[in-house]
Structure 1
């Protein structure tokens, strides 16, 4: 498409999480709101309260959030790619977040017309390299990796000062506000926390995993674990039953969301 000469745009990847909210706040304070774009990519399995948070912060900032979506859920992406997402490879991140955002940005701006902003903070500086490489030649910046090095607790305090209610998933003890608490990158501890706090969502994921196993006719799982030096597959159903039977669970195996951060392939191997 033809690109007109415009003032440089500042595009914040706005997920509905605390990091992206604080990033948006800092970018707006630095540049004003006139050339700010808050870009939300919807996975269509978000917690309902996330949309409340988007609406309230949209009004608070005085900026209409740009909302885009691939149109599929993570489970549909897994089926289309014949690959069940896991901590190692998560096609949901690649298709629903990265590719969807890139398609929109490339359709609207040349690299010299905008700067992109991610909510990675100073405790995760090592994660900056992948998005910088992935988005080249677009410029990517990370305001939370710069002084004065704001802590997560300080971000919660900043949000409280605005009178905006903390998103529900944070109140429930989740470390992020993505995908309704479901995350194929999460470890045993993350999934057990989901089972304890939003059991119906866990059971839905358990059923979706089983459907993928039947569809692929393969022993694929979201989770795996090490026992006696060997890697073993672990279904969500098995994990739930072991938890219900008070068997040992690696609660410290949390994992984490990296939807706009980690590299993901366009093609997937034949087996998980």
Structure 2
């Protein structure tokens, strides 16, 4: 199964274990070179609980290196980092090690994300894909976190820091302005590092940015530097 280090993928693995056991279970995880070190702590703890050693694959680049190589800055709609750092390494491993005729691929999205099912199934063909957390009983994220605690696990710290996903250390190009503002508040060092990387890409590629804003119906790039400047402005009087 696709094991991301998020709480949903762990809950998925637990349901797969309960139904099928672990003799033929593979926890396949891609190293993007951008994750919170605590993600790897959770992967180690949770895979030990499952009794399955994770299989780690890696492209070797970071998301910022991918953006530079592709000459394209990832955003909420198009994220080449996901394609090159997760999908391609995982698919290469599947091509080499997993026969679609007798392999089921489990993915950790839950019932609140069912709109993604068809695209994921199409993207991973010819493998059959299943989504155990889309099945009843439906659990929300907090219930999954509580379940992990009940099993003796310490959940990933990004959830405690207010992030909805445990990926890319909270520095995710798919996130919107709200998450980036939250990152600036709780981890300004990580925000500033991302801002510096974006500025390097802007120097190479021109007026591009991870974020966008709309003014009078027209979409414009919104650099992280500008978002930070606005966040520092004093509130306007009512």
Q: What's the secondary structure of 2:53's corresponding residue?
A: coil
> Who is 1:9 aligned against?
none
Higher helix share: 2
Q: Which structure 2 residues correspond to residues 48-197 of structure 1 after superposition, within 5 A? A: 48-197=37-186
Greater shift, 161-170 or 235-244, is seen at: 161-170
Matched, 1:233 2:211: no
Tell me the secondary structure at the aligned position of residue 219 of structure 2: strand
Q: What residue ranges of structure 1 are gaps of 5+ in the alignment?
A: 1-11, 249-272
**Aligned length, in residue pairs:** 236
d(CA) in 2 for partners of 1:92 and 1:61? 29
- The Cα offsets for residues 168-216 of structure 1, whole Å up to 9 and x where unpaired, read as 1001000000011111011110101111111111000000000001122
SS at match of 1:64: coil
1:115-151, Cα deviation, whole Å (9 max, x unpaired): 0011111111111011100111110000011111122
User: How many angstroms apart in 1 are the aligned matches of 2:137 and 2:46?
Assistant: 23
Q: Name 1:220's counterpart in structure 2.
A: 208
After superposition, give the CA deviation of every residue in 1:71-102 in whole Å (9 maximum; x if it has no partner).
00000000111111111211001110111110
Shift of residue 103, structure 1, vs aligned partner: 0.7
Offset at residue 153 of structure 1 (A): 2.2
Q: Please give the alpha-carbon distance, in whole angstroms, between the structure 2 residues aligned to 1:88 and 1:123.
A: 19
Residue of structure 2 equivalent to 1:243: 231
Q: Which residue pairs with 1:40 in the alignment? A: 29
Q: Distance in 2 between matches of 1:246 and 1:228?
A: 24
Q: Detail structure 1 runs of 4+ shifted over 2 Å in the superposition.
A: none
| 2-structure distance, mates of 1:100, 1:246 | 46
Structure 2 alignment gaps of length 5 or more: none
When residues 247 and 80 of structure 1 are mapped into structure 2, their CA distance, relative to the original with a 3 A threshold, is: farther
Shift of residue 247, structure 1, vs aligned partner? 6.0
- Which secondary structure does the structure 2 equivalent of 1:150 belong to? coil
| Secondary structure class of the residue paired with 2:159 | helix
1:7-40 CA-to-partner distances (Å, cap 9, x unmatched) read xxxxx11111010000000001111111100111
